[in-house]
Structure 1
Amino acid sequence: MNEMLVPEDMDGARLDQALELLLPGSSLRERRRAWEAGAVLVDGRARSKGFRVSVGQRLVLAARERGESSPVLGVRLLSVQGDYAALFKPGGMHSAAIAGRDNPSVERLLPELLPGRGARLLNRLDFLTSGIVLAALTPEAAARYYELEDAGRVTKEYRALVRGCLEWPVTVMNALDTDGRKKTKVLAREDESPLRWTRAEPLEYDEDHDRTLLKVVIHKGARHQIRAHLAHVLLPIVGDPLYGGGEGERLFLHHGRLSFEGFEVAVESGFPVAGGGTGRTIPQDDASKN
């Protein structure tokens, strides 16, 4: 692995140009290929090749063999069970490839992480959300997953660190309008399908910072469902730039467990209740009240 700090004469340069620091004598095309391999970080985060670097930022370039997990980007293969594969997506990366753009994404890495398996992405997480992304290894497996999801037999469990105090579990049943908007709108009426409801249970409360760690469960999900629903009940997620007024450097929302018939996978979030705060665990008998 090579790394270097951006010098003054490279301040404001595009990332694919600044890579000359790590690949001296290389052509612009060669440097773009290195970026496309998904092995370039700026201060620990994947960036597009058009990203403008600043003096003092740390550039990292790491080689990767075909089929190996991508520790530099933070993407890794969690589990292969039958015709399904679960992968970990870090916050700050796209789940799916975006048409007309070459941003790093889990979808672009599927041929390397699962070579020759014909992996197809089944779910997406928001750019800033971390956690489990699922892929099917056959068309039949993909069809079966969607059938199970439509039948409410897929359970998706998240961890969310929110502003405010939640003492008892709450189910947010409001319908959502996701059409043609950057933000999802929460409607006054109830969604007829429980698949679109959001169930939140408090796990721990930090009195010093007025933050609550939640277990959140959904079964199908819509765009920004958890983020919009929690903000609607005055529990915006810490770091949410759309619904909570956060700066967006880190969104404290993590897809930590996914289960359906014949498949289960989990990965810890590592979230603190709040940096250094004094936490109070919500007793299980309290958390189970409605």
Structure 2
Amino acid sequence: MDLTYHNSDAMEEGQQLLTLELPPEVMGLRLDQALTQIFSDHTRAQIQTWLRDNRVTVDEKPGKASQRVLGMEQVRVLVPEPESGDWAAEDIPLDICFEDEDILVINKPAGLVTHPAPGNREGTLLNAIVHHAPACATLARAGIVHRLDKDTSGLLVVAKSEAARQDLIDQLAAREVTREYRALVVGALTGGGRIEAPIGRHPLDRKRMGVVGSGKPAVTHYRIAERFPRHTLLKVRLETGRTHQIRVHMAYMHHPIVGDPVYGGRQMVPPGLNEAQQEQWRSFRRQALHAAHLAFMHPRTGEYLSWSAPLPKDFEQILQLLREVKAASEDKA
């Protein structure tokens, strides 16, 4: 049977959207029974939970555990991330900014998935963490308490003990963790602002998030870091931490993040670039989003700690292109 795995970065990282056609041999079975046969690595109880949580559609309608199947139906399953420590340890280099017995602060490169998912079980940040700090394998999500999308770079914190994990979760819930990003967006903004708009799964495309009335409260603050003729570099601070929050909110404001493959629309090359510069711009194939600053209270000592991470080289290069275009236009003025 053919299972199609979709890119997990188009949804909550750590989840995976699967599409399949039910085989004829499951005809007459309950849907939960049929899926238990297909997903042999999962229990029937787990699959019934997926169905209760509206993670399964059959021919684009919500699936019910008790419904009888005929075979050949088109099924979509949003498989949640694993919660236990059944992960392979892999010797993947980590850019460690800070480490002690309680926490690990990492500068994640773009292109590295945070958490394993079906079809993408290896080569993730979590696999690297378990190799570097084996005790993390006993913790939920290996101590990862907040995430960055696959193609977002920058700082995140990992707990190395259950006490530290619970404390960091509490700080996040109380909005006591400072997370500031650099985001290059399309359009010339004139000032900073605050975006308050609820975020939930898109009603028509379950691989995307969106601003929806039934979504969870989400608040984003932004201010200008640098202006260009048709782009703006922003300092963005999260008050809440919804999936794809900055990407969704900036697209909602009609200022999508440059290079965003999901919410950014068609990539536009800035005018004024020569042929070599245009090629360099087109080679930037990810969202221009970087977690530049992280601060919180140490979960054991109570000391206030903060870190900053410079922009990665590819991000800095496209900013330099914009600076060159801006300088050339000012020389002509």
The TM-score with structure 2 as length reference comes to 0.56
Of residues 189, 192, 198, the one that matches 2:220 is: 198
- Give 2:307's aligned residue: 265
Q: Quote how far apart the aligned CAs of 1:116 are.
A: 4.7
Q: Which has the higher helix share?
A: 2
CA offsets 1:173-209 (integer angstroms, 9 cap, x no match): 0111137721111136997x5xx200011111112xx
- Give 1:127's aligned residue: 150
* Residue pair 2:200, 2:211 contacting (<8 A) in 1 also: yes
For 2:103 and 2:194, locate their aligned partners in 1 and report how far apart those are by CA, in whole Å. 30
Of structures 1 and 2, the larger Rg is shown by 2
* Residue pair 1:130, 1:254 contacting (<8 A) in 2 also: yes
Q: Quote how far apart the aligned CAs of 1:101 are.
A: 3.1
- Give 1:162's aligned residue: 185
CA offsets 1:138-194 (integer angstroms, 9 cap, x no match): 101110111111111111110001110111111110111137721111136997x5x
Aligned residues: CA RMSD: 2.8
CA offsets 1:203-228 (integer angstroms, 9 cap, x no match): 11112xx1111000003311111000
Of residues 105, 108, 112, the one that matches 1:93 is: 112
**Secondary structure of 1:217's aligned partner:** strand
**Secondary structure of 2:234's aligned partner:** strand
Q: Quote how far apart the aligned CAs of 1:268 are.
A: 1.1
**Secondary structure of 2:319's aligned partner:** coil
How many residue pairs are counted as aligned between the two chains? 207
For 2:319 and 2:213, locate their aligned partners in 1 and report how far apart those are by CA, in whole Å. 32
Name the aligned partner's letter for residue 250 of structure 1: R
* Residue pair 1:238, 1:246 contacting (<8 A) in 2 also: no
- Give 1:230's aligned residue: 250
Q: Quote how far apart the aligned CAs of 1:99 are.
A: 3.7
Name the aligned partner's letter for residue 277 of structure 1: L
1:99-114 superposed matches below 5 A: 99=118, 101-114=120-133
CA offsets 1:83-134 (integer angstroms, 9 cap, x no match): 1111121111101111453341100001233355655211111111111121
For 2:160 and 2:174, locate their aligned partners in 1 and report how far apart those are by CA, in whole Å. 21
1:58-77 superposed matches below 5 A: 70=93, 75-77=94-96
* Residue pair 2:92, 2:123 contacting (<8 A) in 1 also: no
For 1:121 and 1:190, locate their aligned partners in 2 and report how far apart those are by CA, in whole Å. 24
**Secondary structure of 1:274's aligned partner:** helix
For 2:151 and 2:192, locate their aligned partners in 1 and report how far apart those are by CA, in whole Å. 25
* Residue pair 1:69, 1:77 contacting (<8 A) in 2 also: no
Name the aligned partner's letter for residue 265 of structure 1: W
CA offsets 1:32-79 (integer angstroms, 9 cap, x no match): xxxxxxxxxxxxxxxxxxxxxxxxxxxxxxxxxx99871xxxx32111
* Residue pair 2:201, 2:215 contacting (<8 A) in 1 also: no
Structure 1 segments unaligned to the other structure (5+ residues): 1-65, 281-290
After the TM superposition, list the runs of 4 or more consecutive aligned residues in structure 1 that deviate by more than 4 angstroms: 66-69, 115-119, 188-191
Structure 2 segments unaligned to the other structure (5+ residues): 1-88, 268-283, 298-302, 327-333
**Secondary structure of 1:134's aligned partner:** strand
The 1:80/1:172 distance shift into structure 2, 3 A limit, reads: same
